[in-house]
Amino acid sequence: MINFLFISSVYVLCELIKTLSFNERVWDQYDWCMKRINNNEFPTCGMVGLTDEVCANQWGVSTLSSFTYGLPISLVIIHTLYGDVMKRFINYPYWIVVHVSVVLFSYTQKISEFNFSIDSDASYNNTDICILLSIGIVSCCIIFRNLIFKNVSRDYLLMYGLMYMFILVSFWTRTHEIKFHIHHSLLCTFLSYFVTDWSSKMNEYIHGILLGITIQGISFYNFDEFHLFYIPYDIYPVMHHITFLYITLILTSIATFVYKKRRIYEEISDTSSVNSGSELLESIPENGEVNV
């Protein structure tokens, strides 16, 4: 419970930073959007046309509703993606690191050199390339160090990989016009699974930095932060597409269930065999004589 209270405080801190320092960039566009609605310039406004919610989402303006509902939804997302770590008792230095990372990363976005994206349509200058190389080298060092010397969250890595593989397959069966955009919350969540072994203090603090950046992304940019692949919005699911996905998922579920059940049965059998052998050895007297 205490961990989620700290996460809530970090989320509110992000909203405070956004309100104090970032909303001035979007209010002009938001006001323009709302003015067109109020002037009834869109004949379908209020039903299927432009609405005030669309204006707020489009220009990143937080309403009281979006901010308030965003908090519990963010807690659910963090609990799902960081659940293994959130069950631990975490000392206050970790949460200090999380808060500091939120502040530093948020204001780093005001520096023009850091305003670039990692996506299929991006073009980079020399500064962008240097920053990307630096981040890539540091990330690779963290990943390989923990793969070799520490334990990583393999189950969460598998879940993360399968989740985006499902999205890619779902899109690929309908269109090959797929683009990608790597958001910082998505990337930081992925990297966090390599630093869950806190026998190293460095891993703990790196994890705190990554969690802070993840929460900042959710607060600033809503849940699009976990979108990786993009396709045109005029492509809709059809019957054979949904049927294919359903059959694939149900067969995969059954196969996984059978495999898991078989593994559990084998583990129980091995444990029973070991226990039986131990009991037999204990029943033999130390002098090796067996009374008949």
Per-residue pLDDT tens digits of the chain, which is 292 residues long: 789 999 999 999 998 988 887 665 555 566 666 666 666 655 544 444 456 666 666 656 677 888 888 899 999 999 888 888 888 889 999 999 999 999 999 988 888 888 888 888 888 888 889 999 999 999 999 999 999 999 999 989 998 998 999 999 889 988 888 999 999 999 999 999 999 999 989 999 999 999 999 999 998 888 888 999 999 888 888 888 889 889 988 998 999 889 888 888 888 876 766 566 555 556 555 555 555 4
Cβ-Cβ contacts under 8 Å for 230 (sequence gap 6 or more): 178, 179, 180, 181
Calculate ∠ Cα 93-151-105, nearest 5°. Answer: 40
Structure token pair of residue 7: 């996460």
| Partner residues linked to 182 by β-bridges | 118
What residue has token string 């309908």?
A: 174
The confidence score (pLDDT) of residue 21 equals 73
| φ/ψ of residue 118, rounded to 5 | -105, 95
Calculate ∠ Cα 89-210-151, nearest 5°. Answer: 65
**What does the domain layout of the chain look like in residue ranges?**
2-26+61-236
The confidence score (pLDDT) of residue 47 equals 44
Rounded-to-integer distance, Cα 21 and Cα 224, Å: 22
Rounded-to-integer distance, Cα 55 and Cα 59, Å: 6
**Could you tell me the end-to-end alpha-carbon distance of the chain, in angstroms, rounded to an integer?**
61
- Rounded to the nearest 10 degrees, the angle between the axes of helix 201-221 and helix 2-21 is 50
| Partner residues linked to 119 by β-bridges | 181
Structure token pair of residue 168: 């890619």
The confidence score (pLDDT) of residue 235 equals 86
The confidence score (pLDDT) of residue 121 equals 85
Helix and strand totals (H; E) in the chain: 11, 3
The confidence score (pLDDT) of residue 271 equals 72
- The answer to whether the predicted template modeling score (pTM) of the entire model surpasses 0.95 is no
The confidence score (pLDDT) of residue 45 equals 45
